[in-house]
Chain A
């Protein structure tokens, strides 16, 4: 099989004042998997959207086997055998799996006769990828991992020989990730070129033959993956020479609990927690480990007083902070860093200034509001939280994930809270942003705050938490001190809810 060679040369792309791609060169060879590495906002998606014809470069050329291409839109890129699975999926949720595949297939017939050969033909690839997905089900009813497989099937239906996957593993469970690695291997063995955008080094190690690393819009390295150590990749990605992850926060000074959770029970339609007993000291980081879907969200909401309790109480500094039927203005004692900040912590269509002013505005009488004051406060906060770009008039929805999380932390932790509840605060963030989040949280530990940190990254919990409580089926099934915690034991608790019985 003769491989083809795609060459991107001198790609420049600016969005207003921001340079997303700065004179980028990239070579893509068939029969190999290329990992495109870089932190959030490095310009990886932009570069690939240029290749896919959905974004037009300001300058630069794309050539396939030496022939210059001029894609005016994705259809022309698809015709040239290039397919892309986006970070944000482009499926129509209200339509069925089959309809989505039909829509994307250029060979789909004009007339859709139910059950006809032509209609079932578009399902063949999916049947191989995921035999258990019913093509008649609505995409809205499918899990994220399943949706990604449908996207992949869409691209494969186009006979794409160059397949771009934008952060495919960020939404997948470990099992689904393994399966995806397998698919990538098969595709590469068939002679396709796979480009995997990622910021996980595990992805690179699992399947990338080549690695290209971007940093702030520039291509800082490209070559065989074996050429670089893990350490070197991290350095290139974050552009500094000190990739040491944060230090473990020092042990809490006191052993008197600052936060007491007593027999907490709460329910939602789909999940419930009960019998939760926890104590957290000043300066202590308590990790809550557990597989997603074991009641984490309702527990977090109940802890911070956003969700009514069925029983029990949450006491911070001697005051109950549990939900009350009568709404009260938050007194700043408890801070909440919810999961998926873009959905749960900001209004994407409002500017940064308004988003940052949301807390302080509650403390003011309505005639005391001043936009100038709010903008000035916002500017100061953006500066101190190192949000980039620090433009108060920018819409929150346009920030990258890491900067959005910095913004949320800056706002929520501004008032020196006693209890901080953080849900997956580093999910989807790159190395540098993750470190900034840790540093910020740990500063509050030093100040004497108590932190409850909900995470599914067991390694992170083992690295940083003082104690780890394991949530399984809505109960705390075990609490371990970091010194005595073993990975295997906590893993068993997470998955089984109990330790295997000794014979």
Chain B
């Protein structure tokens, strides 16, 4: 391939990375939450809250960094409702998750109205003059802000924490065998709350990356079910943070490819596209069932979610 083709590819990769960055954060968040045994359907609402309040703060202060932080904070705040309901009161995780989703939807629709059409600055690009003479790399990095590398860094740190440290072992134990964790003297409730709050922060951050950095607009219900896509992608990634980037990027690439095909005249409904992650998730579940590990790596504690508490 000649250089022009490579530049084209670099452009595509950059586009895929940019569009996938929010989902990287959100899927990592949901993964961590489920690793401590809490399914969080409210992640959609938390992402919306992050998108809305992150955008509002970025628009008001003019600082995208502050906006992203505020988005994370908003997600964390909303997730504390889920943590309180599920861990504190022992409420049903699905019910609580749906409630959080609806709260996020309602609040952002209400407070977000005044910010429709506002302007924000995107997070700074990681390209620059130092890339002169390297047109392919420049094409890639000029189009990326620091949020994309931050996402990969966060995933690496989270995965290393989970598999290579004592607190990570504690988190995994809580998700796999809460009774064993309790017997080992761990505070299951505290770890589960931490997991849900971290997930909330990451979801809010992902939402803010979407509104502040990627689309640079705020629109009502702008996440369009991406939080729920993340829930499906967690299964595909087999609850393993290391598998989050390949899974999310494959999903992003598929999405981009379909968009190209649509642009090329092929009729593919975006509604059909939206079910793609779930079809893949289903296929993974079936594959996992066929190939020995029947639960596909699902934390054993999650099984309790589907049964009555005694």
Contacts and interface: CB of A to CB of B under 8 A. Distances in A.
Interface of A: 54, 73-75, 78, 86, 90-95, 99-100, 102-104, 108-114, 348-349, 395, 397
B166 A109 contact: yes
A92 B180 contact: yes
Nearest to A92: B177
Residue of A99, A109, A348 with highest tally of chain B CB at under 10 A:
A99
Contacts of B173: 92, 95, 99, 103
B183 A111 contact: no
B177 to A, nearest CB: 4
Given A111-B164, A112-B164, A397-B310, 11 more contacts: A54-B183, A92-B172, A92-B176, A92-B177, A94-B300, A95-B173, A95-B177, A103-B170, A110-B166, A112-B165, A395-B310
Contacts of A103: 169-170, 173, 180-181, 184
B299 interface: yes
Contacts of B299: 94
A405 B176 CA distance: 31
Given A93-B177, A94-B176, A94-B177, A111 B165 contact: yes
Given A102-B169, A110-B165, A395-B310, A93 B183 contact: no
| Interface residue SS majority, chain A | loop
Contacts of A104: 184
Contact of A91 (B165, B177, B308, B310): B177
A74 B166 contact: no
A91 B166 contact: no
Interface string B175-195: 011011101110000000000
Residue of A92, A103, A104, A397 with highest tally of chain B CB at under 10 A:
A92
A96 to B, nearest CB: 10
Interface string B9-27: 0000000000000000000
14 contacts: A91-B180, A92-B173, A92-B176, A92-B181, A93-B177, A93-B300, A94-B176, A95-B173, A103-B169, A103-B184, A108-B166, A109-B166, A110-B165, A397-B310
Contact of A95 (B172, B183, B185, B308): B172
A90 B310 contact: no
A74 B183 contact: yes
B169 A90 contact: no
A447 B183 CA distance: 49
Contacts of A86: 183
Contacts of A112: 163-166, 168-169
Nearest to B177: A92
Contacts of A110: 165-167
Contact of B310 (A75, A93, A108, A348): A348
Interface string B143-177: 00000000000000000000111111110110011
Contacts of A74: 183, 185
Interface string B269-310: 000000000000000000000000000000110000000101
Q: Which 7 pairs show the lowest CB-CB distances between chains A and B?
A: A90-B183, A92-B177, A94-B176, A75-B185, A92-B180, A90-B180, A92-B176
Nearest to B175: A94
B165 A73 contact: no
Contacts of B179: 90
Contacts of A73: 185
Nearest to A53: B185
A74 B184 CA distance: 8
A92 B173 CA distance: 6
Contacts of A93: 176-177, 300
A234 to B, nearest CB: 33
Contacts of B176: 92-95
A111 B164 CA distance: 6
A67 to B, nearest CB: 22
A102 B181 CA distance: 12
Nearest to B178: A92
Contacts of A92: 172-173, 176-177, 180-181
B184 A90 contact: yes
A94 B185 CA distance: 18
Contacts of A108: 166
Residue of B176, B184, B299, B300 with highest tally of chain A CB at under 10 A:
B184
Given A91-B180, A395-B310, A397-B310, A99 B169 contact: yes
A75 B184 CA distance: 8
A114 B163 CA distance: 10
Contacts of B164: 111-114
